[in-house]
Structure 1
Amino acid sequence: MTQGQTQELTTAARPAAHRWRLQVVHRTVFHYSGPVRSSYNEARLTPENSHRQTTLRSRVEIEPAATAYAYRDYWGSTVTAFDLHTPHSELAVTGTSIVEAGPDLAAHDRVGWGALAAREVQEQFGELLAATPLTAMDDEVVAQARAAVGDARPHEAGPAICRFVGEHMEYLSGSTSVKTNAMQAWGKGKGVCQDISHVTVGLLRALGLPARYVSGYLHPAKDAAVGEPVTGESHAWVEWWDGGWNGFDPTNSVPIGPRHVTLGRGRDYGDVPPFKGLFSGPRSEGHTVTVEVTRLA
């Protein structure tokens, strides 16, 4: 028996040729060496609703059964919070969502570097212009990025920074951990999507573009067959502001499109982990994560 939080929309999104309907099943199982007495947990597994993306259905299931409640955090992500006070040697949390997603077709007026340096913009986006321990980049690397951008205007500088990072970093699964910071990953010249996004966000901010880290999922196949489940992973990409928000996937060097499902945003990974919690009891034996993505239409 399980309990969970369910989100249903009464109005379905209008299907379109450039939109995909995706089902995502994200399951995390925590294993302990003996019965855990208590645990306190937060899951960020509910995709957002936006002009680019409509969440048709989303459910978070918890085993053993627990009463959960949902709230929006400071950054706008939907959080499913729950605690358990019955002994358990295993905890499974499964987020299942059906989402219709497409490219970002929203238009906005572009601003120049002078407008970005204005006091009102600096105050409005202060948290998204400041470096964090996970995104801070050394001056030498910032200078290289600035040279690569040259005289580009802000809306051109964003993609240029993404390309600059892509040319200098290789995607390699298992080469880093969730605690690896941007400069450590840059020094290795390799990392996972989290690292590549942290480096990109750090350089965008250093050049004066408000930038945020985005957490979500990516269907791995550009020509995915309808109805065929495939193994996926949690994914990360970036957004920057130049009068409006722009999204780009620096790991794959592509704009955000119908294969991308957005969960939430923040300054870095620390603001949008899929799961975090505390427990009281014997030591953890680790956890397993599986993500299954299916194109439905």
Structure 2
Amino acid sequence: MSQSQVQTQVPGRAPRPPGDRWRLQVVHTTRFRYGGPVRSSYNEARLTPENSGRQTTLRSRVEIEPAATAFAYRDYWGSTVTAFDLHTPHRELVVTGTSIVEAGPDVVDHDHVGWSALRGRLVRDRFGELLAPTPRTAMDPTVVRAARAAVGDAPPHQAGPAVCRFVREHMEYLSGSTSVRTTAMQAWTAGRGVCQDISHVTVGLLRELGLPARYVSGYLHPRPSAGIGETVTGESHAWVEWWDGGWCAADPTNGVPIGPRHVTLGRGRDYGDVPPFTGIFSGPRSEGHTVTVEVTRLA
């Protein structure tokens, strides 16, 4: 079966990262199976990590099997999207994103603003989309009042971490307990969810308190003491960022700062803006799909 590939970065040999940075390889494979030949499909994959002050993508490619016409572009939120369509009958579709990334700690280096500035017109006009609730992040008033009480009189730069702690204290991480369609309030009511749900709840409460907030999609190496060259099973991960004069980030699911184990793919209002894969097809029903993520610390 032929295979196509979109290469996004092709750098030269990279130097060894400093001690506070990790070099990680991430291999994310999605495999779809169908009950018969699919005649055509149109797809988008968000599998290319970003370049930022915290993170450098040294190499990234997206491979498609069977071969497809593909091109890459930046979407409205700044994520790199690999778009492709297939018009050759196929019973299986395999999309693999392979990236090598250097990641470091999230360094906060900005002047903090107060609540009066956040309530001002300039901030609300600039971040209107990141202050409004979405169907996935909307929270009931009773929960918002409880979060406000937990934050108390804290200034914005302390309110963000306080909201993360509040959510973590009230929600249990439980793998497989929800689906991608679960809303923040559904997960909150159940008292459990996965990283997507915990991030949706946190984003929703940050916005209700007046902090512009965004949902971050990426990966997390699961072992803080990972050995060099050891490949482990990972998974897609999600965390949050809020603006208090500059962007701050935190991982409310694990209660840790964003650091060298985190690889950022993209950001948006909620999961719906940054799904790793979306598409439509014409043909027999899908027999399901599997996703595997393998993470290796290279340096």
Same fold (TM over 0.5): yes
Of residues 75, 80, 83, the one that matches 1:81 is 83
Q: For 1:1-297, what aligned pairs fall within 5 Å after superposition?
A: 1-10=2-11, 12=14, 15-297=17-299
8 Å CA contact retained: 1:4, 1:67: no
SS in 1 for 2:162: helix
8 Å CA contact retained: 2:33, 2:93: yes
TM-score normalised by the chain length of structure 2: 0.98
SS in 2 for 1:257: coil
8 Å CA contact retained: 2:10, 2:60: no
8 Å CA contact retained: 2:108, 2:248: no
Q: How many residues align?
A: 297
Identity %: 79
Which letter maps to 1:209? L
8 Å CA contact retained: 1:13, 1:100: no
Q: Deviations over 1:43-86 (max 9, x none)?
A: 00000000000000000000001121000000000000000000
Structure-1 separation of matches of 2:103 and 2:183: 30
8 Å CA contact retained: 2:216, 2:265: yes
Which letter maps to 2:194? V
SS in 2 for 1:186: helix
Q: Deviations over 1:143-183 (max 9, x none)?
A: 00000000100000000000000000000011111000000
Deviates more, 1:189-198 or 1:8-17: 8-17
TM-score normalised by the chain length of structure 1: 0.99
Structure-2 separation of matches of 1:261 and 1:13: 19
SS in 1 for 2:109: coil
| Residues 103 and 9 of structure 1: CA distance in aligned 2, closer, same or farther (over 3 Å) | farther
Structure-2 separation of matches of 1:252 and 1:179: 22
SS in 2 for 1:151: coil
Shift of residue 8, structure 1, vs aligned partner: 2.1
Shift of residue 14, structure 1, vs aligned partner: 6.5
8 Å CA contact retained: 1:231, 1:291: yes
